[in-house]
């Protein structure tokens, strides 16, 4: 089958630093093609060239058999190339229809025709199989519905190529399933999709081919059925790399004290009569479907949710509320680092100091030198890739942002560390770093609770796995009793 588009031997440098070196990528009509690679591999730069955001220094772009030059995003749009970013570009206060036709609104006699926009938007959404009211205000929609509106927005411009950047990173399991169905529908209609994701399981499920970028060039391109997960990891990280998510058996001291006790915990919603313990140095995983109550338990322990009945104890002492939890040594790394874990407009140094002001102030003054030493220590310890502690956090990769959220809580030397989806939107290199860091934290005596939808990472870390279903703890599994991911899959079905 002839290619719809080809990027051939593309070069791109910023100042004197080469970012792309003879990079190539090809997309066929009606193909779902995964684009993978670690942070700094060149994926984003290659896609920004394809969407006209950057101009290439060398190489060629061929679209529909003709060589083309893109002077800007409008040129890409005219070809039918659209990108759906991880961070939505929707305006929350406008309606669905207004967002879909933003900057190309239907007009009558020079005036905006909202009724026509709503009619066209309804048809696009209906063709997608989505029951979304085109008059609804975007800020009232779920994350999954917003993702569908983004896709409808691209299709309203007659897109032939959709580039999806981490499309499931903020979706629930059911929303992700809906998206996969839509991807298959678009594929059947001849639309080509570039699918960027760090989630291996979904890549193998819905993609036809995989291209891996490393060090600015394409290191591997193969049909999905002809490549193994280990080959992908080696292509991204280099040959000879051990399996990043391999489980290493850990043995706790027999006299390890109990740090966390949850007794008959019942919340206002979802969680009922949950009881369990975590000992010092132990890593316990929480597994379950999206609405099983995992995050609710974590937030209740940290004091963010009202407890209807039951008790949470740290080192034998009852705690209620966030102030008591933090004072007792509980730390929570939340699922959404960008909105709950970081101040993106501030530096790493500032983010590290904010929850630790008592440690870095003397009277009314911040001990800036102590803060910088702590930030530099964290950079070295957690392998944070940054120019230094003054780098704005919003400019760093997802993996490095996650390490900074972790660093600010580690500065408090927690007794209990709770991690909610710790590797979401993180590449395999940063993911393996985080898994090793979590093991080291536990080895130093901290009790760790991990919530993850990715069974591979849950099984790589956990000494025990607690299975939740409809807000109840239904099973406890020792890691040595879980032979495969399928065992865990069956367990969470209840």
Question: What are 24-65's pLDDT values in tens digits?
Answer: 999 999 999 999 987 778 898 999 999 999 999 999 999 999
Question: What are 464-479's pLDDT values in tens digits?
Answer: 999 998 889 999 999 9
- Range list of β-strands (E), 54-172: 58-63, 66-68, 81-84, 107-108, 111-112, 161-165
Q: Which residues contact 36 (CB under 8 A, 6 or more apart)?
A: 43, 196, 197, 198, 203, 210, 211, 212, 213, 232, 236
Q: Give me the sheet containing 274-279, strands edge to edge.
A: 274-279, 258-267, 307-314, 317-318
Instruction: Point out the domain boundary residue: 212, 239, 266.
Output: 239
Query: In this structure, are 24 and 164 located in the same domain?
Result: yes
Q: How far apart are CA 27 and CA 46, in angstroms?
A: 13
Asked if residue 96 has pLDDT above 90, the reply is yes
Strand partners, 362: 365
Query: In this structure, are 313 and 231 located in the same domain?
Result: no
Q: How far apart are CA 331 and CA 14, in angstroms?
A: 39
Question: What are 197-211's pLDDT values in tens digits?
Answer: 888 889 999 999 999
Rounded to a whole number, what is the largest CA-CA distance in the chain? 81
Instruction: Point out the domain boundary residue: 209, 239, 269.
Output: 239
Q: How far apart are CA 298 and CA 278, in angstroms?
A: 13
- Tell me the residue range of the domain where 292 lies: 245-493
Query: In this structure, are 149 and 35 located in the same domain?
Result: yes
Query: In this structure, are 212 and 257 located in the same domain?
Result: no
Q: For residue 244, what pLDDT is reported? A: 54
Question: What are 139-158's pLDDT values in tens digits?
Answer: 999 888 999 999 999 999 89
Query: In this structure, are 63 and 202 located in the same domain?
Result: yes
What is the C-alpha R_g of the chain? 24
- Between these two residues, 262 and 110, which has the higher pLDDT value? 262
Query: In this structure, are 264 and 409 located in the same domain?
Result: yes
How far, rounded to the nearest angstrom, does the alpha carbon of residue 373 sit from its chain's CA centroid? 29
- pTM, rounded to two decimals: 0.70
* CATH number for the domain that contains residue 21: 3.40.50.300
Asked if residue 296 has pLDDT above 80, the reply is yes
Instruction: Point out the domain boundary residue: 186, 207, 239.
Output: 239
């Amino acid at each position: 089958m002839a290619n719809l588009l080809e990027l051939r031997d593309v070069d791109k440098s910023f100042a004197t630093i080469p970012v792309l070196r003879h990079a190539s990528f090809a997309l066929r009509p009606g193909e779902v093609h995964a684009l993978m690679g670690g942070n700094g591999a060149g994926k984003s730069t290659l896609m920004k060239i394809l969407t006209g955001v950057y101009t290439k220094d060398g190489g060629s772009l061929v679209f529909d058999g003709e060589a083309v030059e893109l002077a800007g995003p409008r040129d890409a749009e005219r070809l039918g190339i659209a990108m759906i970013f991880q961070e939505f570009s929707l305006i929350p206060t406008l309606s669905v229809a207004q967002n879909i036709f933003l900057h190309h609104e239907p007009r009558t006699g020079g005036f905006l025709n909202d009724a026509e926009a709503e009619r066209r938007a309804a048809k696009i959404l209906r063709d997608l199989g989505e029951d979304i009211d085109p008059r609804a205000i975007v800020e009232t929609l779920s994350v999954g519905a917003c993702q569908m509106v983004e896709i409808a927005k691209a299709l309203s411009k007659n897109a032939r190529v959709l580039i999806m950047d981490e499309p499931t990173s903020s979706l629930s399991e059911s929303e992700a399933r809906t998206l996969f169905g839509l991807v298959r529908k678009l594929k059947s209609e001849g639309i080509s999709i570039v699918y960027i994701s760090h989630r291996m399981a979904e890549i193998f499920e819905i993609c036809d081919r995989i291209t891996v970028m490393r060090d600015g060039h394409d290191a591997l391109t193969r049909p999905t059925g002809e490549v193994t997960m280990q080959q992908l990891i080696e292509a991204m990280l280099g040959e000879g790399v051990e399996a990043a998510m391999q489980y290493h058996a850990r043995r706790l001291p027999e006299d390890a004290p109990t740090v966390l006790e949850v007794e008959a915990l019942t919340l206002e919603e979802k969680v009922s009569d949950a009881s369990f313990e975590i000992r010092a140095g132990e890593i316990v995983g929480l597994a379950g479907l999206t609405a099983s109550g995992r995050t609710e338990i974590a937030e209740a322990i940290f004091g963010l949710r009202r407890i209807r009945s039951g008790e949470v104890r740290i080192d034998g002492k009852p705690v209620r509320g966030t102030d008591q939890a933090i004072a007792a040594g509980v730390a929570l790394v939340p699922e959404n680092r960008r909105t709950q874990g970081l101040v993106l407009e501030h530096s790493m140094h500032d983010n590290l100091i904010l929850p630790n002001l008592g440690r870095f102030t003397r009277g009314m003054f911040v001990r800036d030198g102590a803060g910088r030493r702590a930030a530099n220590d964290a950079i070295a310890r957690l392998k944070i890739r940054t120019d230094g502690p003054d780098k704005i956090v919003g400019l760093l990769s997802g993996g490095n942002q996650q390490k900074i959220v972790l660093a600010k809580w580690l500065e408090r030397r927690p007794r209990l560390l709770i991690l909610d989806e710790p590797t979401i939107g993180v590449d395999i290199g940063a993911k393996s770093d985080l898994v090793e860091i979590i093991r080291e934290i536990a080895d130093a005596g901290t009790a760790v609770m991990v919530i993850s939808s990715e069974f591979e990472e849950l099984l790589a870390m956990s000494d025990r796995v607690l299975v939740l279903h409809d807000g109840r703890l239904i099973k406890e599994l020792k890691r040595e009793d879980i032979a495969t991911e399928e065992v865990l899959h069956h367990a969470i079905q209840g």
